[in-house]
Amino acid sequence: MSPALRPATPVIAIDGTAASGKGTIARALARELKFDHLDTGALYRAVAALVLRAGGDPGSRHDALKACAGFCPGIVPEAELRSAAVGEAASQVAVLPEVRAALRDLQVRFAASPPGGRGAVIDGRDIGTVIAPEATAKLFVTAGIAERAHRRWREVQILDPAKTYETILAELRQRDARDAGRAAAPMRPAQDAILLDTTDLSIDAAVAAALEAVRGKLEA
């Protein structure tokens, strides 16, 4: 595994729990700051989707690494990436140290040299601790699990109206435990991360709070 590279431009690292709003916040910050955005969760989702396409087991190192060998950005359509089945499989794939190592260099290179050359906003679960430990600003976004389950339930109603809130709540609890308990790059706030609890915040309020925190770091 190669060491993290020192970024030449500002990097905003956004970590956090599932359905906390970190992706929405990351995209909004990238637009506002005119930085490039990388959703690292989409990388793991793409690998998971390739495993499922091949009829493999997302928990199998062999199947996951075979999918990594055929991976390239954009290979899986957005609609497929956002399916519930792929999301669950991605959490299993992401536990595997070999998969994390295979995707890590891509993320580190993006942080060190974003395509647009102005800066990078990267969201995931180990950005501030592993991928970009020298990031200019680090946020850890979370929310109460009941609120997160309700948000996710609203999201999946279009694609899977039969899925219940109780099922989603149980899945989020399992995912939190898996993400925080994995041996490779467990989900946790970086020591210098700014904590942002979005439980009682609207999207606009959460983005505004994040932007204020990040600008304070960029202007320091």
pLDDT digits (tens, 9 = 90+) for 34-58: 999 999 999 999 999 999 999 999 9
For 58-100, what is each residue's pLDDT tens digit? 999 999 999 999 998 889 999 899 888 898 899 899 999 999 9
Distance between CA atoms of 35 and 37, rounded to whole angstroms? 6
3-state secondary structure of 42: helix
Q: Of 208 and 83, which is predicted with more confidence?
A: 208
112 vs 4, 7, 130, 132, 133, CA distance in Å? 9, 4, 13, 8, 11
Q: How far apart are CA 199 and CA 119, in angstroms?
A: 28
Are 217 and 128 spatial neighbours (Cβ–Cβ below 8 Å)?
no
What length does the chain have?
220
Question: Which is higher by pLDDT, 194 or 83?
Answer: 194
pLDDT digits (tens, 9 = 90+) for 111-120: 999 999 999 9
Residues 174 and 152: their CA atoms lie apart, in Å, by 14
Domain contains 184: yes
Helix (H) / strand (E) element for 101: namely: helix 97-112
pLDDT > 70: what percent of the chain? 97
Q: What is the DSSP string of 118-169?
A: S-EEEEESSIIIII-TT-SEEEEEE--HHHHHHHHHHHHTTT-TT--HHHHH
Q: What is the pLDDT of residue 2?
A: 46
Q: What is the CA radius of gyration of the chain?
A: 17
Look up the CATH number of the domain holding residue 87: 3.40.50.300
For residue 197, the enclosing domain spans 11-210
Residue 217 lies in a domain: no
Residue 137 lies in a domain: yes
In a domain, residue 144? The reply is yes
Q: Please name the residues in contact with 22: beta carbons below 8 A apart, sequence gap of 6 or more.
A: 14, 15, 16, 123, 139, 141
> Which among 46, 95, 38 is positioned nearest to 69, based on CA atoms?
46
3-state secondary structure of 219: coil
Q: For residue 144, give the nearest of 102, 176, 122 by alpha carbon.
A: 176
Mean pLDDT of 129-139: 97
pTM of the model: 0.91
In a domain, 41, yes or no: yes
* Assigned domain for 6 exists: no
Spatial CA neighbour of 196 closest among 24, 42, 14: 14
Total number of domains in the chain: 1
1 has a pLDDT exceeding 50: no
Retrieve residue 210's tokens: 């994040």
> Has residue 157 been placed in a domain?
yes
Is residue 145 included in any domain, yes or no? yes
Q: What confidence score (pLDDT) does residue 160 get?
A: 84
